[in-house]
Amino acid sequence: MTKSNPQMTSPPDLTRHDQGTGPVRTRVPVYVDLLPPCNHACPAGEDIQQWLGLAQDGNYEAAWRCLIENNPMPSIHGRVCYHPCEDSCNRNFIDTSVSIHAVERFLGDLALEKGWKPKISAKKSGKKILIIGAGPSGLSAAYHLNRLGHSVEIHEAGPLAGGMLHFGIPAYRLPRAELNAEIKRIIDMGVKIILNHKVDDVLMEKEQGNFDAVFVAVGAHISNKVDIPQRDAGKIFDAVSYLRSVETGNAPKIGRRVAIYGGGNTAMDVARTAKRMGADEALIIYRRDRENMPAHDFEATEALEEGIKINWLRTIKEIDATNFKVEVMEIGKDGRPQSTGKFETLEADNLILALGQKTETEFLKNIEAIQFLKDGTVEVGDDMMTGSEGIFAGGDMVPSERTVTVAVGHGKKAARFIDGYLRQKSYIPEQKHPIVGYERLHMWYRTYASQREQEQLPISERANFNEITQGLSPNDALFEASRCLSCGNCFECDGCYGSCPQRAVIKLGPGKRYEFDYNICNGCAVCYEQCPCYAIEMVSEEAGI
C-alpha cells in the first residue's frame, strides 16, 4: 500500500498546449505517496500501513514477511512494545486508533504456529561480525546482518539469550514459549550465540576471532543506587537482580510486606512479581504523582487492580529495621517534587530499589577513540559507529529512549551501516515522504468502528505468571486491519475513477492503481476532494509537476 507506483508518481507532461480545457485549467491532479504517521512513529521503522493492508486482504503470510523486513520478532513486540504508532494513528480523531500491536502479535503468533521462515536471498559476503550482547538490539542486528549475507556470532555474558526480554519483563507480559521461539528462529537462520561468555577486551576478541566489525549492545543491567541512612535495615535488593533471580529460579526469600522504591515500569513489574512470589503486600513508594510518573498509565492501572498499593508523593529519608521514614512531597510549579517537611512511617520487611538502570561500559574504556557521556553511555555517530573505526554500538548503552522497540530499531540501523562499511559502499537511508496528518484526509464517508479489545485474564486468576493479555481472534484481527485509513497512499477504492466527470482516470488493474489522462482532464479537482486518504494532490499546471 505504501510502495510508489512509477506510473502514478511520474510527473505528467504539462508543457503541451492542447491538453484539457486550455486557459480554464490552472491545476491538475497527480497521484502521490505520503508517509502515514504510524510508520513515522515506529522506532523499528516498520512499514505498518503496508502489512496492515496485506492483513486486511487476509494475506497473513505476506503481511508477516513485510513486517519482518524491519522487525524480526513481531510476536514479542506485539506484547511488549508501547506502540507509539497507535498514539500517532489518525483514526484517533474519529474513534480509537487501530490496534496495531494486537494485529502484529496475531501475525507473529500465527507465523510461529505455521512455522514460517524468513527467506534469505543475499549471497554470502565472506565477512564476519561479532555482536556483544544477545538482547533485543543484538538479536536484531544479527538477524539483519545475516539476511544481508554476513556471518554473525553473538557473545553473551548471561546464561540465556534475550537480555532484558528474559530478565526485565515478567512472563505474565511476555510468555517464554513465544520469546524462545522467536530467538530460536534467528539461531536457525545461522546466527551463532555463545552464552556465558563475557567480553572484557573488545579489540582482542575482534582480532582473535578474525571479525571484520563489532556491534556492542550490552544493554543497561546495573541498577542505580540511592544513599538512604540505615540504622538496622532489613534486606535491600535491586530490581534487575531480583527479576533476574526469579527468572533463573533462584529468587530470594522475601518478607510478608515488600516495599518497592521507584515509579517506572520496572517498579510496577517488580511489585506484581513480588506478589506472585508470595508477598502478602507490595507497596510502591514514589516521589511524584501518577500524572508525572515515568511508568505507562496502564501499568499502574494493572498493578492497582492486582492489589498493589502505591504511595504517591513520598520519598524515603531513613530506614530503621522494618520502619521506613518517608517525607511527603508536593509537585511545584516547575513540575518537580518539592519537600514539605511532613513525615510518615511505613512498615516493610524488605526494600527493592527500582530507580532506573545504567550500562556497564567500563570494558570499552581501554579503547581511546571511544567517547562516553557522564552517565556512561557511549557516543555514536548517525551511522551508529563509535569513535573507533569498525566498532558500532546501540540499544540501551547509547543515548536514547530505553525500550525494546528502540533497541531493535538500533540493531536494524546498525546492521545496514555495518553492511555498507564492510562493502565500502556507504549506506544512505531513503528520503522519507512528508507526513500526512488527519487534517489532510477527506473523511466524507466517516464510519465509526472502535477497536476490538483484547481479553484480560481475570484478576482472581493472576496469582501465577500466566499471560494476562490475550491475543485477537482471526475475525477480530481482520476487523482491526480493516480499520486502517491508508493515510497518504492509494488503496484502490475507485473513488477517483467513479467521480471523474471527464472520465480522465484510467484503471491500471489490481495492485497497479490509476493514472490520469491529461488530454481530457479539466482540473475540476473532484477526484482530489473525494480521495479519502489524500493520495491525490492538485498542483499548478505552470509548475510542470
What class is the 254-351 domain?
alpha beta
Q: Compute the C-alpha angle 149/150/156, nearest 5°.
A: 135
Q: Compute the C-alpha angle 159/165/166, nearest 5°.
A: 40
User: Residue 256 pLDDT more than 70?
Assistant: yes
User: Residue 386 pLDDT more than 60?
Assistant: yes
User: Residue 116 pLDDT more than 50?
Assistant: yes
Cα–Cα distance for residue pair 393/384, rounded to 1 Å = 6
User: Residue 3 pLDDT more than 60?
Assistant: no
- Which residues, in sequence order, are bridge partners of residue 326? 316, 344
User: Residue 524 pLDDT more than 50?
Assistant: yes
37-118+432-482 homologous superfamily: Alpha-helical ferredoxin (1.10.1060.10)
Task: Give the distance, in angstroms, between the CA of residue 544 and the centroid of all CA atoms in the same chain.
Answer: 40
Query: Checking DSSP bridges between strand 357-358 and strand 222-223, what pairing results, if any?
Result: antiparallel
Confidence of residue 231 (pLDDT cuts 50, 70, 90): low
Helix (H, G, I), strand (E, B) or coil at 9: helix
Residue from 34, 114, 119 nearest 68 by CA: 119
- Provide the pLDDT for residue 543: 60
Cα–Cα distance for residue pair 487/439, rounded to 1 Å = 11
Confidence of residue 46 (pLDDT cuts 50, 70, 90): very high
| Among the ranges given (23-27, 141-145, 198-202, 439-443), the one the predictor scored with the smallest mean pLDDT | 23-27
In sign, the C-alpha dihedral spanning 459, 463, 468, 473 is negative
Q: What is the pTM of this model?
A: 0.91
**Topology given in CATH for the domain delimited by 6-33+489-540:** Alpha-Beta Plaits (3.30.70)
- Which residues, in sequence order, are bridge partners of residue 111? none
Over residues 349-365, mean pLDDT: 91
Domain ranges (residues) in the chain: 6-33+489-540, 37-118+432-482, 254-351
- Provide the pLDDT for residue 325: 93
Over residues 86-91, mean pLDDT: 96
| Among the ranges given (124-138, 150-164, 387-401, 530-544), the one the predictor scored with the smallest mean pLDDT | 530-544
Confirm if 501 and 11 have CB atoms less than 8 A apart: no
Helix (H, G, I), strand (E, B) or coil at 239: helix
User: Residue 18 pLDDT more than 80?
Assistant: no
One-letter identity of residue 276: R
Over residues 106-121, mean pLDDT: 96
Main-chain dihedrals φ then ψ at residue 378, nearest 5 degrees: -95, 135
The average confidence (pLDDT) of the chain is 91
Confidence of residue 133 (pLDDT cuts 50, 70, 90): very high
Main-chain dihedrals φ then ψ at residue 459, nearest 5 degrees: -60, -35
User: Residue 22 pLDDT more than 70?
Assistant: no
Cα–Cα distance for residue pair 73/71, rounded to 1 Å = 6
Instruction: Give percent above pLDDT 70 in the chain.
Output: 94
User: Residue 215 pLDDT more than 50?
Assistant: yes
- Provide the pLDDT for residue 473: 96
Eight-class DSSP state of 231: S
Cα–Cα distance for residue pair 36/438, rounded to 1 Å = 10
Burial class (CB in 10 A: 0-12, 13-18, 19+), 78: buried
Confirm if 201 and 214 have CB atoms less than 8 A apart: no
45: left (phi over 0), alpha (psi -120 to 50) or beta: left
**For helices 136-147 and 404-422, angle between their N-to-C axes, nearest 10 degrees:** 40
Eight-class DSSP state of 155: E
Over residues 535-539, mean pLDDT: 95
- Provide the pLDDT for residue 544: 45
Reading the block at residue 422, the C-alpha cell is: 564492510
